[in-house]
Every structure is written in C-alpha cells, then in structure tokens.
Amino acid sequence: MRRFLRPLLVTALAAGLTATAAPSLAQTQNHPDREDRFKRVAYFIQWGIYSGRNYQVKDVDTSGAAAELTHINYAFGNVSEDGGCVSADSWADWEIPMKAEQSVDGVADAEGQPLRGNLNQLKKLKAKHPGLRVQISLGGWSGSKYFSDAVLTPESRAKLAASCVDLWIKGNLPGLPAGTGAGVFDGIDLDWEWPGSAGNDGNIIRPEDKQNFTLFAAELRRQLDEVNPRLQMSAYLPAAPAKIEAGFEVKEVFKILDFATVQGYDLHGPWELRTGHNGNLYTDPRDPSPVKYSVDATVRHYLANGAPARKIVVGVPSYGQGWTGVKSKGNGLYAAATGPAPSSGVAGTEDYKTLAKKPGKRFRDVRTGTVWLYDGNDFWSYDDPWTVLQKALYIRTKGLGGSMMWSIDQDDEKATLTSTLYRVLR
C-alpha cells in the first residue's frame, strides 16, 4: 500500500502541482465501470443554516456536492430523558419557512405549508438527485447523554426503536398531520458517543453499554425491516482502541449495520498542550504521545476484530485543529503550545475553506499523509486536496467501503474536498 501511494504523491508534488489544486480525474485513475462502488457520505449540520454559518441544503446542490455524494447524514436527532427519539431543533428541522433564494428548487415555502425547514429542502434535494440517500443521525457529542438508559432493557430498546422509526421514518412529526415527514429519510445513523466510556460531561455510562448497543442495533434493524427492508442503518465508531473495546462488539455490530463510519479525525487537538496531527493517515513513529493514533491503525484494529473491509467507511475532516503560543525553531510539529489558536468560530477549530486561504508556511509529510500550517506562533493541522487524495487511494486500494466527511459546510464553495474523494471513490 505505502509503496504505491507515496511515489504517486511525491511525483505529483514534484511536478509542481499546488497544494490547494484539486487533482484531476486522470490523476486519480478512476474506473467508470465501477461507478458508486464506494459510499461517499457527508454530514449536514442542522444548526448550520443560521446566520453564523448560513449554509443551506441548497448549497449542497449549488456547490456540486450533491451530485458527488451517495449519502447525507443529517445531524442530529436526540434521545430524550424518557427514552424516545426527539428533534434537537424542530424550528430548523421542519418549521422555519425557507425563502426562494434558500430553496433547492427556487420556490419559497408557502404560508401554512406543513413541512418546511431543512426536511422539506432535503426532500427537494432527493427529488433532484434520485440516487442520493439521506439518513437521520442520532446523538452526537452533545446528544448522547441518555442513550445508556434508553437501551438498558428489552422494553426500553423496543420503545426507542419504535419512537425513532415513527418520528423520522414514518414522518409523524409533532403537531403536524400524520406522515408529513415521510419520505425524507432513507435510514438511521447511530452516533452514540460513547457506549461504555467517557464522552461529553454528564453522559450516563454503564459497562453493559457494549452489549446493549448490539442489542439495540438488532432491534432497530428489525423494526426498520418491518417498514421497508431497503432502509439502511449505519453507525459512527471511535478511533481509540480503548473506546472500541469498551463499547462495541465489533464483529456482531458489523453484521447488523449496512456500514459504519469510523473516526478519522480529532486524533490530536488543542485540548493537548502539544501540537500534533488532526487526522494523519499513517502512524508517525516520531509522535511522542503514549498512544500513537492514525487512520490506518484504526482501520487495522477494526479489521482484526472482525469488521469486513467493505463496510468500513473512513472519516475525513473538512476542518483543522489549531494551537497558539507555539515556539519552534523548526516546523512546529510536536512543539509545546499555550492553548487553542484563535479562529473565526470556536477557538482551536477552523474550516478547510478558511485554512486554505490562511497565510503562513505549509509543511507536508507524505509518509504520514499530513499537511500543516505554521506561522511561528499558530499551528494548524488539517486536510487539503492532496491528503484527501492519499486517503481516497488508501480506501480504494484496501477495498474499504468509502469515505465520510464531517462536515459538508466546512468544504469550500466548489466542494473541492468532496470532489477529490468523488474522483477516486466511484
């Protein structure tokens, strides 16, 4: 694998190709007869439609991304304290009236129209791109608090599954006519962060979460099949071996899922006071951390524990992690830092579309599949088209299931990262 990827990238870079230019179709050695062999998943964040980001479902279409994706995971639906599926933001989901300029088909929502908001726009997006599947993603970092309670007993698991199917698949949205939201979602994505181990502060955790995750996945699969066996189910799984071992019966879970997206980012970040790589493809032996993470190490761990390669979908970040107060005579890598770097949003995190234009010196390590930006004080680790290309070639060569991006709004207006993945993984 490495003998193939590294010379390819070194040759391309030596030829004078810029780090921000998307690789051409010819460079990716695409085979048109294998179209859509791979899954190309991207998360769309529910809250991204507001003024801070102003990224609408329409933008997935106008950027060209919709034509290059197989799945959109809509983030997030919540699990409530009483063990049911609920909307995290019904205003964004189905209540907010969309203006004509925000609408996929250019038609504004009418007064009194039952289904509005993101769900109506996703329905329009699917009508324009019939091959595109949309899944509701349940949980997330801040929405996983009550998962453990909700899957604790056979009765609670059946209740949660029935609630999720009723709300998101059958489309029985509160306060609206029965079935108003039907046809929006083609499946359910489980994003419990994390069964059996620490996630967000306040999450309920039990040792039996590991087995109960499997049991709930089986119950949800059963109830989805009763509606339509073609409905899909996926899950987002962690990179850390300790979290995998604590929370997931890997072989059994993969038998139930259509596919799983595995964490390929947040391997290092400004919660540590030393710089590192956000999403390195290969393990760096120079990394001074006690546990040396990489995408490749994560994939190999899942394969060793019985996951079929074709069901492993690799997470790719469209954002970077940043540190400030980094003083180094070299390139800033693995140097001490004082905290998160300032950004346009949450300190320490920045979109690819912003980092691509950020001044400073860029460094690249083809051996680990990484790029980073260092200006003498701030250090940013992120993915650009060349690191994404290397990951896509890795996915293809390893016979894995495809790619997943968190999140689509962080790509640039031309969907450069999305397009790079598409050119290889189809």
Please give the positions annotated as active site: 193
Q: Phi and psi dihedrals of 49, rounded to 5?
A: -75, -15
SS3 assignment, position 322: strand
Q: How far is CA 251 from the centre of its chain?
A: 22
* Amino acid identity, position 291: V
Taking the alpha carbons at both ends of the chain, their separation in whole angstroms is 19
Residue 286 contacts residue 334 (beta carbons within 8 Å) = yes
Query: Given phi > 0 = left and psi -120 to 50 = alpha, else beta, which region is 240?
Result: beta
The CA radius of gyration of the chain, in Å to the nearest whole number, is 21
Residue in the structure block whose two tokens are 């450069």: 416
Residue 67 contacts residue 408 (beta carbons within 8 Å) = no
The dihedral formed by the CA atoms of 138, 143, 147 and 148, expressed in degrees to the nearest 10: 150
Closest CA to 65 of 135, 130, 124, 129: 129
Output the CA–CA distances (angstroms, integers) from residue 132 to 2, 71, 264, 347, in the order listed. 33, 6, 23, 34
**How many CA atoms within 13 Å lie on the side-chain side of 12?**
22
Output the CA–CA distances (angstroms, integers) from residue 375 to 330, 378, 379, in the order listed. 11, 6, 7
Residue 200 contacts residue 193 (beta carbons within 8 Å) = yes
Residue 405 contacts residue 63 (beta carbons within 8 Å) = no
107 burial (CB, 10 Å; 0-12 / 13-18 / 19+) is exposed
Nearest 5°: the CA angle 200, 185, 97 is 85
